[in-house]
Chain A
Amino acid sequence: MSIDLLLEGLIFGVFVGCFYAAVSIGLSIAFGLLDVPHIAHASFLVLAAYMTFLLGSYGIDPLLAGLIILIPFFALGAVVYRFYYEAFEKRGTDAGVRGIAFFFGIAFIVQVILSLVFGLDQRSVAASYIGSSLGLGEMRIPWRLIVALLVAVGLVLALNLYLSRTFQGRAMRAVAQDPWALKAIGANPVMTKQWAFGLATAATAIGGALLIIVSPVEPSLDRVYIGRTFCVVVLAGLGSMSGTLIAGIMLGVIESLVLTAFGASWAPAVAFGLLLLVLGLRPQGLFGR
């Protein structure tokens, strides 16, 4: 492998990695902070990508579309959490298996509905920044990746600020660890989690818009992204926002290097292999609490 190729792989890896962080940040909240076994996260991501596609067919810019679907996705998240809470968390006992089966079922339903409505073909969107690229000396960086990087960094910064500076944000960080303490300071744990899950799903909506900006989507794409998103979140250490960004970049770089060295057919295994490694060696993640 030549130095040039290596460098190019590295730079691409950073860009793709930021994108991975952006699509994982919702899960980082839902699973990392709230401790909800949100297996359906990746399907919500693909769902958001298809909604972006749908709005795109009316000539709406994908980034704008991502902002438009933010609100319905927030509502979707809040409803799904409420449902999960009433059906499983509240009953307490044995929520484990059934809670996981619940989200797995939802993920599956979303996937099947998408393939029934949109078919199995790949779908993509059009925008001025998709297809063109920025020349940087020898290498060209696609604008879509630059957009992804900017949005990802913006998203992480905004969420980081929100979680550390606002009352609601701090309550979210506390809720998984100590719901009693939360009650003591006058916040309702269930409402806090519901709000946070809505926020996580809204962030996933933006991630979905990025997903279809970066690459064409198909209904079964969620399977690959289950691995990537959980890999990033576990690697980051549960619930760490800036950790998510760093972990995303790590995954992006490793995946990109493996791609350069061994070919694209090995790429899907990278995230999952890395995930298995982290689970086996350091399950608390790199930046875990």
Chain B
Amino acid sequence: MTTLLRVETLTKRFGGFTALSDVNLNVAKGERLGLIGPNGSGKTTLINCISGVVQIDQGAIAFENKDISTLAAYKRAKKGIARTFQIPRPFHSMSVIENLMVPLEYIVHGLVDVSNRNAVHAEASELLHRMRLSDRTNAPAGQLSQVELRKLELARAVAARPRLLVCDEAMAGLATKEVHEILDILMELNASGITIIMVEHILQAVMRFSQRIVCLTAGRIISDGAPADVMANPEVRRAYLGS
């Protein structure tokens, strides 16, 4: 299998605090990877490093065999890395569909091409349909419910037509039925060829979703393998499950 993302000896410090130390991670094309670990273990920091929201101190990140370690976040987005945020960050002054227009304009269709505005609109509508968000197309993003916000967050990321999608707790705070809905969407996205890294606290969801699980504790990877193996690892059980 071809490697899509390669993280090598990555270290990230905030002041005197080491958030990530010597992290190595390969993600294969088409893979569904679950990233788990207790609070403060560095999951979100790792995502921030991959998406370019924070700059790394040491190590290297390569995407499709090209080094992206020092690229700005918007350039990584253009290269095909999309992400969602743990706390949804909609463009709240815009309508739902306008939210999608941002990545569609800035990444997919280019900036000056206004002539195919209708085509772009159609693509956004189609995407909202896939996300089961059609009925809220013109609603202001500031007025969405929790689950709708989660869907919008996902839709906006997918609108960038990414090859790698990184979801930071896309299901936190949702009811069981809603969790399943989001999981179904993620599965569909993966089936359409998008590689997905999922950070999640809901273990059931991670287990159902992931082909492989990586467990972080205190900024280090302590286990990496098939879901059942990782869960059986005593170190993981001690660090994560508290047993």
Measured between alpha carbons, how far is A94 from B142 in the docked complex, in Å? 11
Measured between alpha carbons, how far is A94 from B92 in the docked complex, in Å? 9
Q: Mark each residue of chain B from 91 to 106: 1 if its CB lies under 8 Å from any CB of chain A, else 0.
A: 0110000000000000
In the complex, which residue of chain B has the Cβ closest to the Cβ of A93? Answer: B92
In the complex, which residue of chain A has the Cβ closest to the Cβ of B93? Answer: A94
Smallest beta-carbon distance B39→chain A, Å = 12
Size band of the interface chain A makes with B: under 10
Measured between alpha carbons, how far is A93 from B93 in the docked complex, in Å? 10
In the complex, which residue of chain A has the Cβ closest to the Cβ of B15? Answer: A289
Q: Mark each residue of chain A from 61 to 105: 1 if its CB lies under 8 Å from any CB of chain B, else 0.
A: 000000000000000000000000000000001100000000000
Q: Mark each residue of chain A from 89 to 126: 1 if its CB lies under 8 Å from any CB of chain B, else 0.
A: 00001100000000000000000000000000000000
Contacting A at CB under 8 A, from B79-93, are 92-93
Measured between alpha carbons, how far is A271 from B155 in the docked complex, in Å? 48
Number of A-B contacts (CB under 8 A): 4
Measured between alpha carbons, how far is A94 from B93 in the docked complex, in Å? 9
Q: Hey, which chain A residues are within 8 Å of B92, CB to CB?
A: 93-94
Smallest beta-carbon distance A41→chain B, Å = 28
Contacting A at CB under 8 A, from B90-144, are 92-93, 142
Q: Hey, which chain B residues are within 8 Å of A93, CB to CB?
A: 92, 142
Q: Hey, which chain B residues are within 8 Å of A94, CB to CB?
A: 92-93
In the complex, which residue of chain A has the Cβ closest to the Cβ of B90? Answer: A93
Measured between alpha carbons, how far is A247 from B93 in the docked complex, in Å? 40
Measured between alpha carbons, how far is A93 from B142 in the docked complex, in Å? 9
Smallest beta-carbon distance A145→chain B, Å = 39
Q: Hey, which chain A residues are within 8 Å of B142, CB to CB?
A: 93
In the complex, which residue of chain A has the Cβ closest to the Cβ of B92? Answer: A93
Smallest beta-carbon distance B142→chain A, Å = 7
Measured between alpha carbons, how far is A93 from B87 in the docked complex, in Å? 14
Q: Hey, which chain A residues are within 8 Å of B93, CB to CB?
A: 94
Smallest beta-carbon distance A230→chain B, Å = 24
Contacting A at CB under 8 A, from B128-178, are 142
Smallest beta-carbon distance A225→chain B, Å = 32
Smallest beta-carbon distance A140→chain B, Å = 47
Q: Mark each residue of chain B from 164 to 202: 1 if its CB lies under 8 Å from any CB of chain A, else 0.
A: 000000000000000000000000000000000000000
Measured between alpha carbons, how far is A93 from B88 in the docked complex, in Å? 13
Smallest beta-carbon distance B107→chain A, Å = 25
Measured between alpha carbons, how far is A166 from B227 in the docked complex, in Å? 50
Smallest beta-carbon distance A211→chain B, Å = 37
Smallest beta-carbon distance B88→chain A, Å = 12
Measured between alpha carbons, how far is A105 from B93 in the docked complex, in Å? 24
3 smallest beta-carbon distances between A and B, as pairs: A93-B92, A93-B142, A94-B93
* Interface CB pairs A-B, < 8 A, 4: A93-B92, A93-B142, A94-B92, A94-B93
Q: Which residues of A contact B (CB under 8 A)?
A: 93-94
